[in-house]
Structure 1
Amino acid sequence: MTTPAAPRKSLRRLGSLLQFSFGLVWSAARAPFVGLVALQIVSAVALAGQVLAVQLTLSVILDAKAREQGLLPFVFPVVLLALLTALTAVAGSLQASLGRYVGESVAQSMWGQILEMATGVGLRRFESTDFYDRLERMRSNALSRPFQVTNGVLAVIGATAASIGVGITIVALNPLLLPLLLIGGVPMLLTSRRESRLEFRFNVEQTQRIRLRTYIALLLTARDEAKEVRAFGLQRFLTHRFSRMYDTYRSDLARHVRRRSTLNVLGNLGAALVLALTLLALMWLIAVGQIGIAGAGAAIVAIRLLASQIQSLTGGVQTIFESGLFLDDVHEFVTGEQDEQSRGPVRDVPEFASLDLDDVRFTYPGRPEPALDGVDIHLEAGEVVALVGENGSGKTTLAKIMAGLYPPDSGTVEWNGTDVSAFDQSRLRSQIAVIFQDFVRYAFTAEENIGLGRADEPVDIEKIRAAAREAGADDFLAALPDGYRTPLSRLFDGGHEISGGQWQRVAIARAYYRQAPLVILDEPSSALDPRSEHDLFTSLRATLQGRTALFVSHRFSTVRSADRIYVLDAGKVVEHGTHDELMARQGLYAELFSLQADAYLRS
């Protein structure tokens, strides 16, 4: 009962796959693609013409009267054969060049989809290993597989056209030969489908292992990791682990290749057997006088060409099927993530007045304990609010939720009393400037590093310098060899390195340049010396000029002047109030503040 449904399902899948691939290629490189199709047809006609030219040439050779006339009778068939051979070669060369261009065009188009998906997907997805595995497969397959499918279709079109042309000539010679040759493609079709499934399964199984191996290679070759690898003498350990993983991969690959090769050999042996039977049938037809010598010569050429075209046809079908398995995975992933991003209404974000978290809970995927457990926090416009706690208390997670980067598992985050899920998330995030403790050090110029705070707007160098002055970065940036035009990395020509503390000031300047009404500073002073840290916080209120700030820190001495201090412990707000109120309460804040103060005094 289910047998008829399977072919229909396969045909529907194939139709969807072809539509996706053709649509992508058509939008990426329409004119070159049309050229490729035209070249396929030209090649098919030229191949069929070569068979006729061979027959004409052999007829002249065997015609005694023609031979008596010298070279003249040979000119037309020989020139025709030469021209058709040249035309086939030129068409093949042009196809290779156009194919390369179309391939790059498709790759660019797919990169656009990958980058749009990867930058638009919710940050929480990056906590899932399954997401990383599928993202890796997408990076590996999405760039080439759509064009491979299209190449497979072009091969099928070209092989079909050529097969029809050559097949007509074979039928003209003797109809018995054609069905034998067509049967020769069946073994290859049967084995190629099995090969494709094996290839897809092997790639899925190896995805995470390849990611780990690539990561170890990065540790051994990356610039930032180089110092620690050498300081701890990790070269031998990491190299040995890399080699061991590669050995395991090669062992798995050898097993996989043996299975594919076995199937391929069986398919080709089946095709060769049918070809041998066809040639034997040709010999029999010659022996009984049904085909002349000239016809026999042409038939041999035609049989060889048609066998080659049938192999191209089955190869194209295999390419379509194999790439289709990967593209199904890619297409499902991209559309699934796009659906995830497109959910929810879109509303403009009103001017900031307050931000409230009510009973917010959040747990990272794969972890049993919650990172946040029933958190309540209130911020009002113009306030400087501090969030303190020991390492692992949930401060950074809370900062990400307040920045709109993580949705809470439960509870609400309200902007001016409205749940933030009601707003367009990109517009909401444009109203918030965030400095993370692990901020990115972009290998761009100083001007670009700060200008990224408002990347969608034209660069305003005066405002960039003003933000740098507010963050205490203007003096050392202006003193660079090319001033603000100096790249802040030696990765590129003319680059210059700056210290960790200076980088932190550049990151702070980037946040100030954003001119957002809400600024979240997550451990923004971890690389600053105590004096610089104190100056940063004491000047924060004046620098913000009425904007709201959430200052996250584990150094209690820097947040004394905050309007309100929230104390986190194990994902919960255990205390909140001013510094004096919390010290008078003699709770966790007072305990930790005293411990840190005593440590400074003893040192």
Structure 2
Amino acid sequence: MPNSFAREAIQSSKVALGLAIRADRRRTISTGVFQVVGAVAAIGTVVIGKVLLERILDDGATSPQQLLWPLLGLALVTAITGSIAVIRNQQERLLGERVSQLVWNEVLDVVTNVDLMTYEQPGFITEYANVERGGMTRPLPMTKSVFGLMGAGLGVVAMLFALVSIAPVLAPILFLGAIPAVIVSRLASRSEFAFAQRLTPDFLRREYLRRVLTHREYAAEVRSFGAAPNLRSRHTMLDGVVADGLKTQVAGRTRLALVQIAGSALSLVAVLLVIVYMLDRNFLSLPQAGAAAIAVRILGSQLSSVYGSFSTLTESAPFVAELNKFLRNRPKVNALGEPEVLHRRLTLSNVGFQYPGRETAALAGIDLFIDRGEVVALVGENGSGKTTLANIVAGLYEADSGEILWDDEPLARERVRASVTMVFQDFAQFSFSVSDNIDIAGRAITNPGRVHLAAQGAQLAETIASLPSGFDTMLGRDLDDGLDLSGGQWQRMALARALLKNSSLIVLDEPSAALDPRAENELFHDVRRVLDGRAALLISHRYSNVKHADRIYVLDGGRVVECGSHYELMSRGGKYADLFTLQSAAYSIESADE
């Protein structure tokens, strides 16, 4: 177990130092140099102090002029020590920002490029939360602790040499006082990591409740249902859980700290008593005793620095190890491939898919094809597998079985994702400018006219023209200067975003969910003009919106149970005809009631 702990501490120290050097090599090195210079200055204090004591106690034989240089040397060393501390703190402040930026960028590399299926699993979110809460802030303190150990360790070695040259018996006594500190640091490290792991689920729940209570997206329903008192009560309960856990943790850490302080204090008192005893028995001269006392005092300070650095290092080691695992055990870049043009057909053959942890398959034996320029529809009741299949077609999920062919050739999922665009049912509303909302990937930075064409294709031109700054107008309510749009206008913004990508195939998942009936009717009757020759996979819960599709696939229980045109399916009198008739009847009743 100790060997495992030592390996983890050494490996984590290497990781932390590596991050610091990559973030800012010059400041990392200067931080280490400042630590060494500080240790050397401490040695100078002992040497100069011993010289001063010898000259002061030299029975009046020393003139004031002979004390001038030692005093100036002592002042210089003190000034250097103080100045180095100030400069080092400012350099570490800059280094901290650089390290934080590097760590964030590496974490973002993982989070933004990890497979969507992995990202959606609860285990990944918890792992990320652990890293964000504990690991991301630890590399810099750990780097500083390594340098602190170097500097303070050098000072300890120098002071020990000084003590050994004066009174060898003093060194072992001080080392005995270090034993509790090492044990306490190890216990504190285990305790702090276990505490963070144990309370992470409660932290996540509390943060989510804070979001629900404070964010705009939930505000209307919280007020409409009068949910605030209940949610506040649950938040208060979690506050209590966190506070109780922290109280227990602080009490345990305080007890460990008191044990460490007691061990250090006892060893220091023992050393000073030995010095007094040796002075009384004439084993030491007064200058030697004075120098030994100064050395012990400085050594005590250096040992405290060693204990503190060692404690930080051991406490940070498991967090940095977890950060390193998170960064290294994920694909670094799941990059988009080069987009392909669909010349003939996209084919899904015998495709199956099962969500992790589920007992039954979400999709099984799916056969589907989409020809160039076709509009193909997916319909089915809730839970039939429509969105799952759409995610596979869009390259966001990888099928567990079967094959996907692009123009009769297998195509890597990264290239499928680059070649297909998906308009999501729960599309994003970014607090960016109109241009940046449409061109979220920065594809048209050198050709802004493409953004204007995409907006026109999505029938947004008039809306944008009416905004205060046109395409430069900031949208969203997350920032103070943002304007909000209607649900239908936001939905057209999402469609413009898809048109800008200019893929051969667009997946439209409930593209009219936020549109009013007139706008919805216009969209579906004009869908081919909007697509401008692109193929489309259309998902809609309103059967009247898909009857003009070239082909309709009916899903039930993750399987295709029917396929054909609207008129073919209606003539068969199967599931599609039943659902279409049922929905049409419901609309007819509503119209009659009105």
Q: TM-score range by the shorter chain?
A: over 0.9
**How far did 1:544 drift?**
2.1
Match of 1:555 in 2: 542
Q: Number of paired residues?
A: 589
Match of 1:295 among 273, 288, 291: 288
**How far did 1:205 drift?**
1.2
Task: State the distance in 1 between where 2:369 and 2:479 align.
Answer: 45
Give yes or no for the alignment of 1:318 onto 2:311.
Answer: yes
Match of 1:62 in 2: 57
Task: State the distance in 2 between where 1:350 and 1:516 align.
Answer: 8
Alignment of 1:77-96 (within 5 A): 77-96=70-89
Q: Please list the CA deviations of residues 485-519 of structure 1 after superposition, one character each: whole Å capped at 9, or x if unmatched.
A: 00112433542111011000111011011101110
Once the two structures are overlaid, the 10-residue window that deviates more, 115-124 or 493-502, is 493-502
Match of 1:435 in 2: 423
Aligned-partner residue type, residue 204 of structure 2: R
Task: State the distance in 1 between where 2:470 and 2:109 align.
Answer: 33
User: Structure 2 length normalisation: TM-score?
Assistant: 0.94
The SS at the match of 1:16 is helix
Aligned-partner residue type, residue 19 of structure 2: L
**How far did 1:367 drift?**
3.3
Q: Point out 4+ residue stretches in structure 1 off by more than 6 angstroms.
A: none
Once the two structures are overlaid, the 10-residue window that deviates more, 463-472 or 363-372, is 363-372
The SS at the match of 1:337 is coil
Aligned-partner residue type, residue 529 of structure 1: D
Match of 2:471 in 1: 484
Match of 1:214 in 2: 207
Give yes or no for the alignment of 1:46 onto 2:41.
Answer: yes
Task: State the distance in 2 between where 1:440 and 1:539 align.
Answer: 24
**How far did 1:428 drift?**
2.8
8 Å contact 1:372–1:394 — kept in the other structure? yes
**Ranges in structure 1 where 5+ consecutive residues have no aligned partner:** 1-5
Match of 1:544 in 2: 531
**How far did 1:456 drift?**
4.3
8 Å contact 2:444–2:451 — kept in the other structure? no
8 Å contact 1:401–1:408 — kept in the other structure? yes
Aligned-partner residue type, residue 241 of structure 1: R
Q: Please list the CA deviations of residues 195-235 of structure 1 after superposition, one character each: whole Å capped at 9, or x if unmatched.
A: 10111111111111111111111111112222221222122
Aligned-partner residue type, residue 404 of structure 2: V
Give yes or no for the alignment of 1:386 onto 2:377.
Answer: yes
Task: State the distance in 1 between where 2:544 and 2:501 align.
Answer: 28
**How far did 1:26 drift?**
0.9
**How far did 1:11 drift?**
4.7
**How far did 1:236 drift?**
1.2
Match of 1:3 in 2: none
The SS at the match of 1:268 is helix
**How far did 1:91 drift?**
0.8
Task: State the distance in 1 between where 2:533 and 2:584 align.
Answer: 31
Identity %: 37
Give yes or no for the alignment of 1:502 onto 2:489.
Answer: yes
**How far did 1:483 drift?**
0.6
Aligned-partner residue type, residue 26 of structure 1: I
The SS at the match of 2:60 is helix
8 Å contact 1:138–1:330 — kept in the other structure? yes
Match of 2:16 in 1: 21
Q: 1:349 to 1:431 in 2, by over 3 A?
A: closer
**How far did 1:354 drift?**
2.1
Task: State the distance in 2 between where 1:496 and 1:138 align.
Answer: 35
The SS at the match of 2:364 is strand
**How far did 1:465 drift?**
1.4
Q: 1:268 to 1:418 in 2, by over 3 A?
A: farther
Task: State the distance in 1 between where 2:80 and 2:290 align.
Answer: 22
Aligned-partner residue type, residue 363 of structure 1: Q
**How far did 1:88 drift?**
0.9
Give yes or no for the alignment of 1:564 onto 2:551.
Answer: yes
Q: 1:428 to 1:142 in 2, by over 3 A?
A: farther
Give yes or no for the alignment of 1:467 onto 2:462.
Answer: no
Match of 1:242 among 216, 235, 256: 235
Q: 1:557 to 1:545 in 2, by over 3 A?
A: same
Give yes or no for the alignment of 1:176 onto 2:169.
Answer: yes
Match of 2:365 among 366, 370, 374: 374
The SS at the match of 1:200 is helix
Once the two structures are overlaid, the 10-residue window that deviates more, 40-49 or 367-376, is 367-376
**Ranges in structure 2 where 5+ consecutive residues have no aligned partner:** none
**How far did 1:272 drift?**
2.1
The SS at the match of 2:238 is helix
Aligned-partner residue type, residue 379 of structure 1: I
Alignment of 1:272-421 (within 5 A): 272-338=265-331, 350-352=340-342, 353-420=344-411
Task: State the distance in 2 between where 1:428 and 1:27 align.
Answer: 35
**How far did 1:364 drift?**
2.5
Task: State the distance in 2 between where 1:298 and 1:459 align.
Answer: 72
Task: State the distance in 2 between where 1:59 and 1:530 align.
Answer: 99
Match of 1:190 in 2: 183
Q: 1:12 to 1:196 in 2, by over 3 A?
A: closer
Match of 1:527 in 2: 514
Q: 1:456 to 1:51 in 2, by over 3 A?
A: farther
Task: State the distance in 2 between where 1:426 and 1:97 align.
Answer: 45
8 Å contact 2:113–2:333 — kept in the other structure? no
**How far did 1:142 drift?**
3.3
Match of 2:505 among 501, 518, 524: 518
Task: State the distance in 2 between where 1:60 and 1:231 align.
Answer: 85
**How far did 1:296 drift?**
2.1
**How far did 1:484 drift?**
0.8
Give yes or no for the alignment of 1:146 onto 2:139.
Answer: yes
8 Å contact 2:109–2:332 — kept in the other structure? no
Give yes or no for the alignment of 1:205 onto 2:193.
Answer: no
**How far did 1:417 drift?**
2.9
Task: State the distance in 2 between where 1:100 and 1:115 align.
Answer: 23
8 Å contact 2:110–2:332 — kept in the other structure? no
Once the two structures are overlaid, the 10-residue window that deviates more, 391-400 or 519-528, is 391-400
Query: Cα RMSD over matched residues?
Result: 2.1
8 Å contact 1:355–1:416 — kept in the other structure? yes
**How far did 1:459 drift?**
4.7
Task: State the distance in 2 between where 1:341 and 1:9 align.
Answer: 33
Aligned-partner residue type, residue 407 of structure 2: N
Aligned-partner residue type, residue 450 of structure 1: I
